[in-house]
């Protein structure tokens, strides 16, 4: 493992993530752009579950391309446009991350670059 999680009891009160993640020296870093629930063919489901599944599929694909897995994620930032989507989004995230508990930030914002986008996800990963 290239990083250690530090929990002080705050994150566990809110969701399944870590209060902090500490990385070791001499690591490769992968920083993704915001990833929407948009297919390579330009299609986008109208619901949060469909968009979240596509976004996380793309995140895992780019990690794989870099020789990394979800276990290498140290920080995830999620942007949703509707607070009512948090519970459904969290279920999808858990489905893709499993036991991985990166540091995390979730923001509710008024709009993304395209009005039909319900979310974007970005991650920071580190590996030797």
**CA distances from residue 127 to 16, 17, 56, 60 in whole angstroms, order as listed:** 22, 19, 19, 14
pLDDT (tens digit, 9 = 90+) per residue, 36-54? 999 999 999 999 999 999 9
Q: Does residue 79 come out as left (phi exceeding 0), alpha (psi in the -120 to 50 range) or beta?
A: beta
pTM here is 0.93
The parts of the chain modelled with pLDDT lower than 70 are: 1
How far does Cα 32 stand from its chain's mean position? 10
pLDDT at 89: 98
Q: Give the domain CATH number at 49.
A: 3.30.1330.40
> How far is 51 from 38, CA to CA, in rounded Å?
7
Closest CA to 96 of 54, 67, 62, 65: 54
> How far is 124 from 76, CA to CA, in rounded Å?
6
pLDDT at 1: 63
The total number of structural domains that make up the chain: 1
- Note down the domain range covering 82: 3-127
pLDDT at 106: 97
**CA distances from residue 108 to 111, 118, 120 in whole angstroms, order as listed:** 9, 10, 11
């Amino acid at each position: 493992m290239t990083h250690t999680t530090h929990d002080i009891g705050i994150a566990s009160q809110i969701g399944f993530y870590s209060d902090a993640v500490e990385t070791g020296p001499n690591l490769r870093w992968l920083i993704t752009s915001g990833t929407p629930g948009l297919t390579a063919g330009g299609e986008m489901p109208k619901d949060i579950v469909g968009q979240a599944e596509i976004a996380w599929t793309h995140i895992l694909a780019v990690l794989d391309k870099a020789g990394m897995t979800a276990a290498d994620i140290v920080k995830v930032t999620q942007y949703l446009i509707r607070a009512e989507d948090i519970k459904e989004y969290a279920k999808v995230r858990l489905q893709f991350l499993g036991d991985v508990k990166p540091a995390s930030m979730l923001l509710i914002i008024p709009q993304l670059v395209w009005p039909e986008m319900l979310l974007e996800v970005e991650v920071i990963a580190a590996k030797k």
